[in-house]
Chains A and B, each alone.
Chain A
Amino acid sequence: MVAIPFEVSRSAGPGQKPRFDKFTVNVSEETPILTALLQIRSELDPSLGLRYSCRQAICGSCAMRVNGKSRLVCSTPVGPEFRAHGKVVIEPMANQPVVKDLITDMTPFWDRYRRVHPHLILDPAHPLPKDKESSMTPEQFDQFKETPRCIACGACYSACPALGSDDEFLGPMALAKMYRFVVDPRDSAYRQRLATIQNQSLWLCLRCNMCVEACPKDVRPAERIVDLKRLAIQELGAPEQGSRHAEKFMTNIEDGGVLNEMKLARETLGIFGTLKQIPKGIQMMRHGRSLKKHPPIQGVQEVKVIYSELNKPEDLMHRPRPAGKGVKGGGQ
């Protein structure tokens, strides 16, 4: 048993400024933080507000911030946090309004989830087999067998820095959910689904991988978002800034093996975008930051061989385009 100091954010209701209440809890180091919080509730302060239910990391109720990190507290032990920080600071999830203490209003999270049309969209012309399961190859199943692991706890949503800075962004959970439907062989809205995110949300992911670390179920949302980006480029080309930047970056390196920053700016931003960058360029030059073209690397021919060899559809992503979908037909 160790005496663990807790500092718990308390807030009486929406819009109230939180304060931190201090509690000391005697527990063993392996004790889940949820258990310690429930001990606070039963022994020290029954008014502490938090959501919890299953206590085994499957219902998704108890996501909150632990020493700043978004965590499901039922599966996070006290010990490592105490050892690293000398205390355990508990706050409600970020990026959502607080209802009381550690309880947030998850409406923004669920709204984004609904925006990806989280249900099967079937093609009336190709109904599922009657009185029989739809057939699915093990390969098709493999592509999304991990996706039901998401328990919609919101830890990724709380951890995401893009969400805190841009309301347009759908966030890790909703996009990972989108991936689940995009690769589902039963779903017919493959192209439409990709099209709805191509322009608004997909390219706002920062690839910072905060969601990968926060996710208690190893859903790895950031990686599924990269998969969606690859599928979107394959299916819809590069019609806007984000995909264009990825494409132009790729061709840029083919030229000289090393980045030509000026050329990239010109190609991604277009003429107007580049003109807007002129003052920045002047400012940079004043500080001796040149943007002159780097000479090609030695062995640039080798790079060109790599480019010419590895441009088959199956190279673009290892989780390939879902069978029977996409440009080769079907899946509309």
Chain B
Amino acid sequence: MSYSHDVLVVGAGLAGQRAALEAFRAGANVGVISKLHPLRSHSVAAQGGINAALGPGDSPEGHIYDTVKGSDYLADQDAAKILCTEAGPCVIEMEHFGTIFNRAPDGSLDRRAFGGASKSRTIYSADRTGLALLQALYEELGRERAITVYEEWDALELVMKDGRVHGLVGLHRKTSKIEGFSAKAVVIATGPAGRIYGKTTNSHSSTGDGNAIAYRAGAYLKDMEFVQFHPTALPHTSILITEGARGEGGMLKNSKGERFMERYAPNFKDLASRDVVSRAIVTEVREGRGFPDGTVHLELMHLGREKIESKLQEIVEITRKFIGIDPVTQGIPVFPAQHYMMGGVHTDPKGATNLPGLYAAGEAACVSVHGANRLGANSLLDTLVFGKISGAEAAAWAKKTSSATVTQGEVDAVTTRIHTMWERKEGETVVKLRNEMQNAMDEKVGVYRRPDELLAALAKISELKDRYRNVYVSDKSTTFNLNLIEAIELGNMLDQAEVLVAGAVARTESRGAHVRMDFPNRDDAQWLKHTMALPSKEGPVLTYLPVTITDYQPKARSY
């Protein structure tokens, strides 16, 4: 059996659904393939809000400037301009789709302060904005009956012919059947590969499968070394505590009771950009001013019970349920954890990759609007703005493309590869290899990066890639074979980890979230450029692309 669409979207989070909706509106026959039910997508976990310069005295220009500054000048300014000028219409549209946003007393959309922003411009739905947006978009999409959603299908490989996309090969979890999906255009919207780290706020499903299949098919991965560590995650589980908590007035305190951010960012304090706050926390703990469990505390107590329980309801539930701490009366122990990938599949501002017919959007993509460090509440915005654009572009491409085919032979080739792995009778377990990868990434490719550690990590990933060729899938059943799926995901993650570390080794400067102990300064003369990676037998081949600078020349960054 095979399936056929004009546009096939991979991933059904905010970016994927928005792309699907737009492609459908443009008249395309649209399919969406997702390894999860759409409402389970990781977008659901976004807490704090979505930025749009809708407030009095605010402007898209202010938003662009903050975004570019936050990016440590690595964002492409033409793309950032699109992001910020489309922000208002995007949020209004989501409101019209039914999103339940918090309201100001006058009935307009309420706004809260967020990190790195010069104005209070974060529109929100309590501390579950991703959930509220995903529900509304899914409900809107639900009207468009002609969109076929293939739930619980994994995308395995893209099918490329005559220099363009023809579709992909997927695996149905329910049956383990491998089938072809022909499509004139494919939109990758599979989110990040946060799970290459062990300490991550990301969902278990965040394995970046779309990035890996695009990369293997010859698409550039861009700026993968820029990894955002969210300053406030719970210890052990790395569950996210939203920046909105500080936006509402929460403060970070060390074990001496000092509000230490005053020292690191005299103006923005606790609401400096995330790279700055994460480094400050790591420094405080390293210098002996952390709590015995190696954390600092996020204090909300002074906000009062009513505000905490109404505007930070999920945080209250998370801390009470998961660590038995009541933020109304106690500080929340926090430490940075991997949170966001600024890098991803390289696209132009229209969502197009270097492969004709292949598009990407959301956290899977790198346009780039976040550069070396993303501002809080810009990621939800990114998914919707560029999801919409890439959907429209994909539909336009499909319209002018004659046909797409996936042959049985192409399906069989992928099936053989998967089955060879699956039928192996012995080897190393997925769990073992995955743990080693995650440990290497946690320990050696973190907030502060040392050259020797980066090289060791690179060697480790390369070793793991070798050992992965002998990975063992002990479960031979054909219904929901998670053992097999995890093996496939591991392969995808190793490819991305390799690019990430290679990029970090090569970039001999400190910019945004990428901080080299041996090169502590930003080096615009050498490194004001994007890292572009393509696969080869010897590993990633790195080239570089200039940054688009229009209005804002790089200057020293302080908060």
Contact = CB atoms under 8 A, between A and B. Distances in A.
| Direct touching of A and B (C-beta under 8 Å) | yes
A59 B42 contact: yes
Contact of B96 (A59, A99, A128): A128
A268 interface: no
Interface of B: 36-37, 39-42, 44-45, 89, 91-92, 95-98, 100-103, 105, 107-109, 125-126, 128, 131-132, 135, 139-140, 142-143, 174, 203-205, 237, 239-240, 313-314, 317-318, 321-322, 324, 429-431, 474-475, 477, 479-483
Centre residue among B39, B89, B105, B240 by max chain A CB count within 10 A: B39
A275 interface: no
Contacts of B324: 30
Contacts of A47: 474-475, 477, 481, 483
A118 B142 contact: yes
Contacts of B128: 58, 148-149
Contacts of B477: 12, 47, 100
Given A145-B126, A147-B100, A136 B482 contact: no
A56 interface: yes
A54 B132 CA distance: 16
Contacts of A42: 431
Given A46-B482, A56-B239, 15 more contacts: A46-B483, A50-B482, A56-B237, A59-B42, A59-B44, A61-B40, A119-B142, A120-B97, A134-B96, A135-B108, A141-B100, A145-B100, A145-B126, A151-B131, A186-B96
B132 A148 contact: yes
Contacts of B108: 133, 135
Interface in A188-216: none
A249 interface: no
A313 interface: no
B321 A52 contact: no
Given A12-B477, A99-B479, A148 B107 contact: no
A226 to B, nearest CB: 21
A319 to B, nearest CB: 15
A60 interface: yes
B479 A57 contact: no
Given A119-B98, A131-B92, A137-B107, A49 B482 contact: yes
A49 B173 CA distance: 11
A276 interface: no
A54 B479 contact: no
Interface residues of A, number: 54
Contacts of B98: 119-120, 184, 186
A54 B105 contact: no
Interface in A47-94: 47-61, 75
Contacts of B313: 149
A135 to B, nearest CB: 4
A49 B96 contact: no
Contacts of A12: 477, 479
Given A53-B203, A99-B174, A151-B131, A145 B102 contact: yes
Contacts of A53: 36, 40, 42, 203-205
A117 to B, nearest CB: 9
Contacts of B39: 59-60, 151-152
Given A114-B142, A148-B128, A52 B204 contact: yes
A55 B237 contact: yes
Given A61-B36, A99-B480, A100-B480, A144 B100 contact: yes
Interface string A271-310: 0000000000000000000000000000000000000000
A4 B373 CA distance: 43
A19 interface: no
A56 B45 CA distance: 8
B350 to A, nearest CB: 23
B215 to A, nearest CB: 23
